[in-house]
Amino acid sequence: MDIVEGVRVMKHRIITISREFGSGGRTIGKKVAEALGLPCYDSELIQKMAAESGFHEQYIKDKGESAPVGFLSNLTNRAFGPTNEDYLWEVQCRIITELAEKGPCVIVGRCADYILRDKADCLRVFIHADMDFRAKRIVEVYGEREASPEQRIKDKDKRRAAYHRFYTNMKWGHAQNYDITLNSGTLGIERCVDIIKGLY
């Protein structure tokens, strides 16, 4: 903890990056980690979850950020015990907590902002942008060739929001749930990186 003009300022060891699909959050996270000399956990989280859970990586990609479908279906499934999604959530929480305890790092997605909510040295960031910026980005960067990239963005964001609400009981993307929210479409990727670096 540093003292700046008589005010205590907590030094951040962990940075979590939550993001809208196509906003460049993953790129920003990796650039921040590289600039600060920190490990960045993104796809690595899926690999670790697969190794610990025994599920295939593709299954985790498909189910790891999806809430159980339907309220009645959810009740029916839970009558027989925790679902696969519940088990993956437990594994995910354990891995993210262990990584945070291991040392300073950047963690992208996977509700890390919520899982590490009680850590005072965690900087929780949310990256967003307008639809035009994101639609253009997924075509240019990810080679998205669907007729409606906008619809894919809406579907992806809807799944992330439902997953986040289901397991955290918090509204995904609400500014009050993060330390800072950044508009990558307005600020640009590099400026977002600089801002986060300056807060570390």
CA–CA distance, 51 with 32 (Å, rounded to integer)? 27
Adjacent-strand bridge partners of 108? 17
Q: Are 152 and 138 in contact (CB under 8 A)?
A: yes
The answer to whether the Cα torsion of 35, 191, 119, 168 is positive or negative is negative
Percent of the chain with pLDDT over 90: 64
Enter the DSSP assignment of 175. Answer: G
For residues 32 and 68, the model is more confident at 32
What is the domain count for the chain? 1
The answer to whether the Cα torsion of 127, 59, 156, 85 is positive or negative is negative
pTM listed for this prediction: 0.85
CA–CA distance, 199 with 72 (Å, rounded to integer)? 44
pLDDT per residue as tens digits for the range 128-158: 999 999 999 998 887 766 668 899 899 989 9
Q: 197 is written with which tokens?
A: 């670096």
The 3-state secondary structure of 155-199, one letter per residue: HHHHHHHHHHHHHHCCCCCCHHHCCEEEEHHHHCHHHHHHHHHHH
pLDDT per residue as tens digits for the range 57-95: 998 887 766 666 554 445 445 555 678 888 999 999 999
CATH number, domain containing residue 40: 3.40.50.300
Q: Which domain holds residue 20?
A: 2-199
Beta strand 122-128 with 14-19 is parallel
pLDDT of the residue at 79: 56
Torsion angles phi and psi, residue 187, rounded to 5:
-80, -30
